Chain A
């Protein structure tokens, strides 16, 4: 059974003694507590990145009172949806109504035994989680019934190469990463890996627009027998810059063309992370960079292509930024070199790609912070 993450609560009260008491009780009940001695201090904490699952705030505080605090949060899109509970000594009915008008989820009188307050908060969080789960399941069901996928079911069969991929959605919700394998004929195969800037459903929704343009541009290129990954990227970028819906959405893209006759791989990238190439002969992993800018940024994306030669036993990795993100004791990090260092020992002793991909993230520090996608191209 998965161990659920402790819930984080932000406790706001100018009564230091009460704040300490309630903090201890919530901590004992398994909560991660952040405390603020005023609404102003709480706002600073939130602005600095504290992300509570729920806020429990006193009403009567000097300067900014609980209602003003709540009103402030409601006007900020980043904070307005955090469940909010008022805590006060007052038992005035009008006050309760006023608080509920401010979409406070509940209203707790301070005289209530603290263990009852904790139970109440637990019940609220359970109800919020349940509601979120139900909404997500509805969208998942709708997506399934439409049979639309931004990630293929299985890797392609390509002559002379073994191609594999691994994808892990952030919080198990489809997101902005997209993968496609486009077979032109026995000789030419395209590999596509993109990452829409954003997360979860919103990003996922746009993947289909990008994928449609990429597929069309690849098909047109193949029809005209123009096998230039840079030209295809430029074409996709030009269309996106004119698309009324997609022009404000940005995406990275790695586009590779495998030629099974010459064993050459041609690569062009748009704001993507450099690929990693493993040489079986030297045992080294080296970066393969491209010059292109993110799709949708400028009409001229400065795309160029690189030719990559893989010898027998060599491997090429194409991946999105979720692979280089991790959390350690000091917080979230993005570290490309660290990812490369983590990957290297696996190259020397392990050949099974799925095992490699899964093993990379068994470390408890590697809590997921974004979609993770990686494609491996192995030269047989």
Chain B
């Protein structure tokens, strides 16, 4: 579900390869991100450009992973959200919680 794209000094760039992010894959997503964090011990940028739909259960999994990482002073950064998902984040104020970028380039060029 998650493939490592590149490891930078302070952040790990990963691709989330699912079309529908829902209850069915939320727990597996959470387990994979936490496993990656345990291995790399750094913030994680998740490219979600393949995701077309996200339900509230999966949103819960993302927030839960975020809470876990911030307890270790690391961050979860979201990349490539579709227009619908960006709207959903704005409507529910999650855009105030997560750093959101259009592409990995925006992170690497910082």
Residues of A bordering B, CB below 8 Å: 44, 47-49, 51, 76-78, 176, 195, 197-200, 203, 248-250, 252, 271-274, 289, 291-294, 297, 302, 321, 325, 330-337, 369-370
Q: How far is the CA of A195 from the CA of B23 in the complex (A)?
A: 14
In the complex with contacts A76-B28, A197-B59, A334-B53, A294-B92 CB distance below 8 A: yes
Q: Collect the chain A residues with CB atoms within 8 Å of residue B28's CB.
A: 76-78
Q: How far is the CA of A198 from the CA of B85 in the complex (A)?
A: 17
* Contact (Cβ within 8 A) B91 A273: yes
Given A250-B60, A274-B91, A293-B96, output 20 extra A-B contacts at Cβ < 8 Å. Answer: A77-B31, A78-B1, A78-B24, A198-B56, A198-B57, A199-B55, A199-B57, A203-B57, A271-B93, A292-B93, A321-B88, A330-B52, A332-B55, A333-B52, A334-B53, A334-B54, A334-B84, A335-B84, A337-B87, A370-B55
Taking CB as reference atom, which chain A residue is nearest B18? Answer: A49
Report A251 CB to chain B, min CB distance, Å.
9
Give chain B's interface secondary structure class: helix
* Contact (Cβ within 8 A) A198 B17: no
In the complex with contacts A250-B63, A331-B20, A335-B84, A273-B92 CB distance below 8 A: yes
Counting chain A CB atoms within 10 Å of each CB, the highest count among B31, B53, B64, B87 belongs to B53
B67 proximal to A (CB < 8 A)? yes
Q: Collect the chain A residues with CB atoms within 8 Å of residue B24's CB.
A: 51, 78
Q: How far is the CA of A325 from the CA of B50 in the complex (A)?
A: 19
A-B contact count (CB 8 A): 100
Q: Collect the chain B residues with CB atoms within 8 Å of residue A332's CB.
A: 20, 22, 52-53, 55
* Contact (Cβ within 8 A) A336 B87: yes
B102 proximal to A (CB < 8 A)? no
- Size of the B side of the interface (Cβ < 8 Å), in residues, is 34
* Contact (Cβ within 8 A) B93 A291: yes
Q: Collect the chain B residues with CB atoms within 8 Å of residue A252's CB.
A: 56, 92
Q: How far is the CA of A151 from the CA of B67 in the complex (A)?
A: 30
6 tightest A-B contacts by CB? A197-B60, A332-B53, A78-B28, A49-B20, A49-B19, A199-B23
* Contact (Cβ within 8 A) A333 B53: yes
Q: Collect the chain A residues with CB atoms within 8 Å of residue B92's CB.
A: 252, 271-273, 294
Q: Collect the chain B residues with CB atoms within 8 Å of residue A76's CB.
A: 28
The one of A197, A272, A289 that contacts B57, using a Cβ cutoff of 8 Å: A197
Q: How far is the CA of A289 from the CA of B50 in the complex (A)?
A: 29
Q: Collect the chain A residues with CB atoms within 8 Å of residue B50's CB.
A: 48
B7 proximal to A (CB < 8 A)? no
In the complex with contacts A293-B93, A336-B87, A197-B56 CB distance below 8 A: yes
* Contact (Cβ within 8 A) B19 A250: no
